Structure 1
Amino acid sequence: MKLLRDMLDKQVVDREQVKIGKLDGLVAELRPGKPPRIIAIEVGSVTLARRLGRLPGQWMARLAAKLGGERHARPHRIPWSKVRDIGVDIEFDIDVRETAIFDWQDWLRDHVIGRIPGA
């Protein structure tokens, strides 16, 4: 399997089939004398911006920290050990409601979208 080609931008779902987003990055552990080992995946705007370069990544991290606090300046990581299935979607054995992945989406719904008449 060619990891970057076959996995990046695939849909990520939790154990209840709730869509988390697209896989934006892979985190590898470099080991002396051995091949690299994937230890986690990353999802979120910070990782996606980093794919465009160092400056867009830094800009997005600062923006995320300003809007959502320091914990949002770092990408959301899901341990590779939680991978359940790699098929059309990448399925993880986690409950997305127990993570901070949807914090920004929830804030936007409560403070902006919910105030639009007829929303």
Structure 2
Amino acid sequence: MDMMRDVLDNQLVDRNQRKMGKVDGIVMELRNGEPPRLAYIEVGMTTLAKRLNPRWANWVAAILSKWGAKQSQPLRISWSKVRDVGIDVEVDVDAEATSALAYEKWLRDRIITKIPGGR
């Protein structure tokens, strides 16, 4: 499997087929005398910003914190929780029980509900 092609930037869905965002990062574990091991996939704006430019990650985290977002750190999902990799990356977690939807919830509570008809 080509991790960059098959996993990175693919849609992430939970056990209930609810979209959780895109896979923004892949975390490998380096071990002495053994091949690297895939440890986690990461989801979050700071991880995406870090891929573009490492200095942007701190800037994005600061902006998210200043605007009151509850989750500025990326969500890490253990590779052992990955069920299937195809068009979507399916994981054995519940999106509602994670911070994956924190930005959507923040946006809904702070902005969308203020728009007439947004409730």
Report the secondary structure of 2:87's partner residue: coil
Letter in structure 2 aligned against 1:80: W
Give TM-score scaled by structure 2 length: 0.91
The answer for unaligned runs of 5 or more in structure 1 is none
Q: Distance in 1 between matches of 2:61 and 2:30?
A: 25
Instruction: Decide which moves more: 92-101 or 58-67.
Output: 58-67
Deviations 1:57-76 (A, max 9, x none): 1111222233225xx23211
Q: Which residue number corresponds to residue 46 of structure 2?
A: 46
Q: Which residue number corresponds to residue 103 of structure 1?
A: 102
Q: Identity percentage over the alignment?
A: 50
Q: Distance in 1 between matches of 2:21 and 2:54?
A: 22
Letter in structure 2 aligned against 1:100: S
Higher strand share: 2
Q: How many residue pairs end up in the alignment? A: 117
Give TM-score scaled by structure 1 length: 0.91
Q: Which residue number corresponds to residue 68 of structure 1?
A: 69
C-alpha deviation, 1:88, in angstroms: 1.1
Q: Distance in 2 between matches of 1:11 and 1:56?
A: 23
Q: Which runs of 4+ in 1 moved over 3 A?
A: none
Report the secondary structure of 1:109's partner residue: helix
